[in-house]
Chains A and B, each alone.
Chain A
């Protein structure tokens, strides 16, 4: 995969795409700016998104609105305890007239897959989806089929202590680039929501503003965003600090460093910048890191969430000043 330094035009395209998608999402969900931003960054960074919160705050609406705003194929899977892996990936059926098996693609064969209540399915089914997220392909009956690009999974789940759930193991949570807690809307936003839903489905108002090809180009642009040594150093400082703090039993993995940088690049591009700022890293550190770390017993005892711990860690890591490296002496 080659990356090129994005041109101003390409950057403007990304920024405009982000702006338009955001505008579409805003017609459905008001007051979720941070969640929408993180969502868009995840989309542009080719990550997968885990929306986690109590039922009824708009997780699924957000996922569906995103699918509509991007004029891309959308697959939707409602996870239930009896869902089978083949219900996700698809099955081969015997065509008696042609005397051969024919593959019926499952809902995972789409640009955007909305996996509702992923923690309600059995681990086996969960694993089928998560493997396809990682491999970006599906192997059925010994035949590997590539998933379409771009490929984005937006999973929603209820908090893990709810009844009838199979919590995602850490290793599988790690496959999601970001986890976003949607949160309750503010009073004013909730009133606005009541108005918007009065008599019609607001999702019907969401128009596609970008094609899959547009999204593919934007993703390519994001890959070319420049991450300066000072920013990478800062990012690594933050990630390492999560491993050092006594409030976390498990710190963030090196994979999370990669994902954090990718997400930060996407955010930079969304702001029309061709380089990452530490502000991008800061803005995405909680969504990218919080679901990968495990608070220590001590932090849990103090009722400290992983989000709060990571925010503290960020507040303690100094933003390094950079001397531009001296050019090596010539001759």
Chain B
């Protein structure tokens, strides 16, 4: 067959896949509705920024200094001073019941100590059930206290610590976690969508018997594979593009890097997700198994990708596993393009592993088409 005929054949196969996928109204809805809703909801929901640190103050000190500290704390936009308590016994129920995240306990000698040139003692009691939240709140409070210290030191009240630590965050200057999370969601949702599109496709054809009918035609398995991969690729890339646009226009993410480098990443990532989806699909005999298989891959892939928790914090053995996760590479690319102005030269270490994952999984899938019969 000539190249033109090959192309026509591939188009026919891809159209068939798309029709099989999109003709069913429910299935169309699943591919369009939830990802958009999830993008919006997760974009707002997934944040590590604490803007409502709930606080109770237990002030035993009548002096000036404690009042200034309290007004500093309550004046902060991210702290909600909810309770002022009179007895130590009130602390426990407030924390236990999660009425407040933090209690600031100012000791009776606080102002007196400070005016004598000694350190005034403040106890910060935090709810550690979510250790991350606790740490962030703690850092935040410390920052306020440090500023107060430095101001007092500057005014010559005391020999405080000098103002000499000047810190700056690159790429995400205000350390907005939304930038981090929304860019991650691009990868997350594209992965979910390409898996949903591909993971059931072969299993469904096997269950319905259409796969046999296809295999007795002269079509080479490689073409069947390409035909099955195209809809996943198309829908994955479309979905990713949509999210990218929403991220920039709606969530105000910066877009600093090369769009070409990003799209090469999107393409390779979607291709490897599609490969994994098709491999799962061709191993499974029933659709139920395919769904479970997709899940068995999806959940660890998200957790090990560095989407919410940094890969660097994982033990070395677990870090090795993350090299198998295409989402890992894609998240680096997408975040770098958005925030670090990343371009091709930075991404070769990300591109080639995805190429290998894609080639391996797609080859496996094509081989399994014919060889996995029962």
A binds B: no
- Chain A: residues with CB nearer than 8 A to chain B? none
